[in-house]
Chains A and B, each alone.
Chain A
Amino acid sequence: MSFLELSGLSKRFGPLTVVDDVSLSVERGHVVCLLGPSGCGKTTTLRLIAGFTTPDAGEIRIDGKVISSKGSSVPPELRQMSMIFQSYALWPHMTVRENVAYGLQLRKLPKEKIVSLVDDILTTTQLAPLAERYPGELSGGQQQRVSLARALVVEPQTLLLDEPLSNLDSNLREEMRFEIRRLHDAYRYTTIYVTHDQSEAMTTADVIVIMNKGHIEQVGSPEDIYERPASEFVARFMGGANILAGQVLDERTVDCGGLKLKCANAGHAAGSSVSVSIRQHTIAVTTQRPTDEMNWAAGTVVRSVYLGAHRDYLIELASGERIRAVTSTSNPVENGQAVWAHLPPEFCRILTR
């Protein structure tokens, strides 16, 4: 049995189904990222888990005990969770110390204990010198750390984070991403992390959940999601891949507008319309006409960008479609030159459209 289980969870706002039959199991101590485009229902899912809203169908269980269902729900204050909000939600009328101590005071700990616990966490999050300041007197990154300290000091079983880094500049984001992972590894709480930034998800998560229009598209490890996307949506959302539309010829061969591609996976009926995804950096480009036709696409370079470590080509195929290829910097090809691109079968994946 998993620690946190969502089963058949749905939430509607009026006619709009914002969370649609979501089922998910989260192991204790894992970091799970909910990843998806804006408006796909990530925040709503998180708020359901926190107990701020009740589902219209389905249930949420912790350690097998139902905490949310259509009829009843355990109030947020009894869920042993902490949450970090997109807005940080620091209380403007309390100092940093008071903000952090709040959860402990509610638990009626003795005064000295509160002071020592707060001091510890403030030191860990490098906030000790700022303890007597008000949130209005802190920078974005410092506020972020206060919000983290406030959430962690009560030793939650579960930590919920809603796009915690979206308001930070990129340097700080890097640093905080590492910080969050480090604190997680130290205390091993179960973490649900919402973001719409795939690189953030890749670097923090044990498991990534891709959401689209309220339902789950794919659940898997970062490598699964990146290397073996289960749908065209996932491949497009993760980026870095070319998507070609085509028809299945036989088990593993797809005809994409004349270009025949042998692929790594099977499972689609002959004649069905599918997409083939191929990562940009697995494509090889040559000016020599190949002997074979299979998995070779003829085209013209319409743009080439030198990126230091790589070269990024935009190639227009005979069918008019354009693909991108990221290759080594050796053997540069000029714009307008005819080329052949090799799409290795082991990296071509057939996807449901």
Chain B
Amino acid sequence: MSTASDFRIPVRRGSIDWSKPVFMALVAFLAVLVLLPLSWLVYFAVTDQAGKVTFANFVAMATDPTLRRPFILAIGMSLSVGALSCIIATPLAWFVARTDMPGRSFVRIFVTASFVTPPFLGAIAWEILAAPNSGILNVVYRSLFDLEPYDHIVDIYTLPGLVFAISCYTFPYVFTLVSNALDRVPSDLEEASAIQGASLYTTLRRVTIPLVLPAMLAGSLIAILQALTMFGSPAILALPAGFHVITTKIWSLFQYPAKPNLAAAISMPLLMFTILLLWTQRSILGRRGYTTLGAKSGVPRLTELGHWRWAAWAFTALVLLLTVVLPYLALIQTALTRTVAEPLSLASFTLDHVRFVFFEFSATSLAMRNTFLLGLMTATVGTGLALVTAYIVSRNVVKGGWMLGYLATIPVAIPGIVLGVGLFLAYSNSILPLYGTIWILLIAFLTIEMPAAYQQLSSAFRSVHVELEEASRILGATRMETLRTITAPILRSNVIATWCFVFIGTIRELSAMILLTTADTKLVSVIIYDLNESGDLGAISVLGLMLLAISFVIITIANRLPLFGGPKLTSLRG
């Protein structure tokens, strides 16, 4: 800067401040996104077919046993899933986080695999493994003991079978929360207890378990919530078994003759349950959220299990075998053999299913195109919306910005199928005729993915010092320029990670989509469900493995990124 020259730096002239209009637009958009389907849901619940206000729907719900029973079964099923997930995951988490059990580092990889598996795909895998007649396990059992054609040891088409098949894919929620909590239990507390002569058992009971109890409870509540709101697994396993849970009942009310008013009405209690569960879970974990409390303090002391380490290892191996290894092998085998029961060998090997799925079955190429197009659009638009929302909320850009945070978080409490009903009602009328187009699917995906994306990015914002943005403002950048040139690049890896998780969440979503897709707007997940109805397990396995492979690739990429906070897998839902 030479004083000799008479050159003056030009003064920055005013440009429009976009923050207010953007804020307004965002509020309007999110409000429509979230509140419109909910309003239609409420409206339909309290009216009859003719549009007259009535409480008949609720009366029917209370008196009709075919409507009451699914509630009771669903609650029983979800509580069992919660309990089973907790029983599986807690010891596993402890072995991995705090003991010298062999092979600990592999466990997390397998748990991630279970996490990434869409529950409906797991349910189908278990159908392949444990259907009473054709299930591989039963076939093997019969041939080993030379039994009659109808003898079987396991039957997945039962309530316990369903509970088991769901728990295989919900236990990771408990595992993640508990192992994070265990990582933070200070070793010195345990050591102090051990030094005073307490046995391992006493230390566990008096020190460790009380410290991780909130995490266990919170994790189980998520598992319960997932089970309660899940559509795919019950539809695949409970319907053949001859019973309904709430979600499948709601779906069946949309089959001919459709009773949308009743469906809307029975969605209400389900919505209440999820809100209650989430509220309880939040109050257990406290406002800060368990996963973000403090940092890991040093290397935790590992408990030496002695001979018991092999027992622990066996337990772990069994869990991983049942939840990941067997289902995956079943899918691979089914994808590559002519009939399910044949063992995979050179003679039985075939690429027929692969050819069928990719070249012959016309529906798949359309579904794949739709799925990936929607995945890309949802991930891009959703991440963008979540970024701007998180920015406005965390930086107090406008008065009342916190409202946006609430709007963006509300969908977390809306079960997928309920959202599906709401969106169907909102967009299949003549005012907004979006039903039958991919736009209604985009709206559904954006709504579903918004809470997790928002949560992830707003915690990322908290890690960026406000002064970095202010430094840009004072040098002459507007809010939007700052967001584009400073904030977004600094948060780049968080943004990419969020994009990846939204993408994965989108390609595996079924619950809400089942009511919203039509012949022209099929998705891979829905095709898988349709193929299951027609019993085409080979094609399902090919499609399912493809979804899994894509998810793994993307997760791996996302995990490689140097993140500030670390990606949170809890943002996935089925």
Contacts and interface: CB of A to CB of B under 8 A. Distances in A.
Nearest to B3: A186
Nearest to B488: A93
Contact of B474 (A81, A107, A109): A81
A154 B471 contact: no
Interface of A: 50, 52, 75-83, 85-87, 89-93, 102-104, 106-109, 113, 117, 120-121, 124, 150-155, 160, 186-187
B1 A117 contact: yes
B287 interface: no
Interface in B203-218: none
Interface of chain B, main secondary structure = loop
A75 B478 contact: yes
B307 interface: no
Contacts of A124: 1
Contacts of A82: 474-475
Interface stretch (B6-14, B115-123, B180-188, B347-355): B6-14
Interface string B469-495: 011111111110100011001101000
B17 interface: yes
B146 interface: no
B294 to A, nearest CB: 22
Interface string B1-35: 11100011111111001000000000000000000
B492 to A, nearest CB: 8
B1 A50 contact: no
Contacts, number: 93
Contact of B470 (A83, A92, A117): A83
6 contacts: A77-B12, A91-B471, A106-B477, A124-B1, A153-B1, A187-B1
B1 A85 contact: no
A151 B467 CA distance: 14
Given A106-B12, A155-B9, A77 B489 contact: no
Nearest to A75: B17
A67 to B, nearest CB: 12
A120 B1 contact: yes
A107 B12 contact: yes
Contacts of A187: 1, 3
Nearest to B7: A113
B470 A85 contact: yes
B468 interface: yes
B468 A75 contact: no
Contacts of A77: 12, 473-478
Contacts of A93: 489-490, 492
B14 A78 contact: yes
A151 B477 CA distance: 13
B474 A79 contact: yes
Interface string B486-527: 100110100000000000000000000000000000000000
B288 interface: no
A57 to B, nearest CB: 17
A287 to B, nearest CB: 57
Given A93-B490, A186-B3, A50 B474 contact: yes
A85 B11 contact: no
B465 interface: yes
A91 B490 contact: yes
A152 B470 CA distance: 16
B25 to A, nearest CB: 19
Given A87-B465, A89-B465, A155 B8 contact: yes
A207 to B, nearest CB: 22
B473 to A, nearest CB: 4
Given A89-B468, A104-B9, A76 B2 contact: no
B476 A83 contact: no
Contacts of A86: 467
B18 to A, nearest CB: 11
Contacts of B11: 80
A76 B1 contact: no
Contacts of B489: 93
A106 B481 contact: yes
Contacts of A152: 1
A77 B476 CA distance: 4
A269 B388 CA distance: 62
A154 B473 CA distance: 13
B562 to A, nearest CB: 12
Contacts of B7: 113
B171 to A, nearest CB: 39
B191 to A, nearest CB: 37
Nearest to A153: B1
A183 to B, nearest CB: 9
Contacts of B490: 91-93
A153 B476 CA distance: 12
Nearest to A79: B474
B476 to A, nearest CB: 4
A160 B471 CA distance: 11
Contact of B486 (A87, A91, A154, A186): A91
A87 B476 CA distance: 19
A120 B477 CA distance: 23
Given A87-B465, A93-B489, A102 B472 contact: yes
A92 B470 CA distance: 14
B518 to A, nearest CB: 45
Contacts of A153: 1
Interface centre among A82, A90, A106, A160 (most CB of B within 10 A): A106
Given A78-B14, A106-B481, A83 B474 contact: yes
A240 B14 CA distance: 49
Contact of A107 (B17, B476, B486): B476
A154 B476 contact: yes
Contacts of B477: 77, 102, 106
Contact of A154 (B3, B9, B17, B481): B9
Contacts of B486: 91
A121 B470 CA distance: 22
Contacts of A160: 474
Given A85-B471, A89-B470, A103 B476 contact: yes
A106 B480 CA distance: 13
A145 to B, nearest CB: 14
Given A52-B473, A104-B9, A107-B10, 18 more contacts: A50-B470, A50-B474, A76-B470, A76-B473, A77-B475, A77-B476, A78-B476, A82-B475, A83-B470, A89-B465, A89-B470, A92-B490, A103-B475, A107-B9, A117-B1, A154-B476, A155-B9, A187-B1
Contacts of B485: 102
A240 to B, nearest CB: 34
Contacts of A90: 471
A76 B485 CA distance: 17
A100 to B, nearest CB: 10
Given A91-B486, A92-B490, A154-B9, A75 B1 contact: no
Contact of A83 (B8, B17, B471): B471
Contacts of B465: 87, 89
Nearest to B481: A106
B17 to A, nearest CB: 6
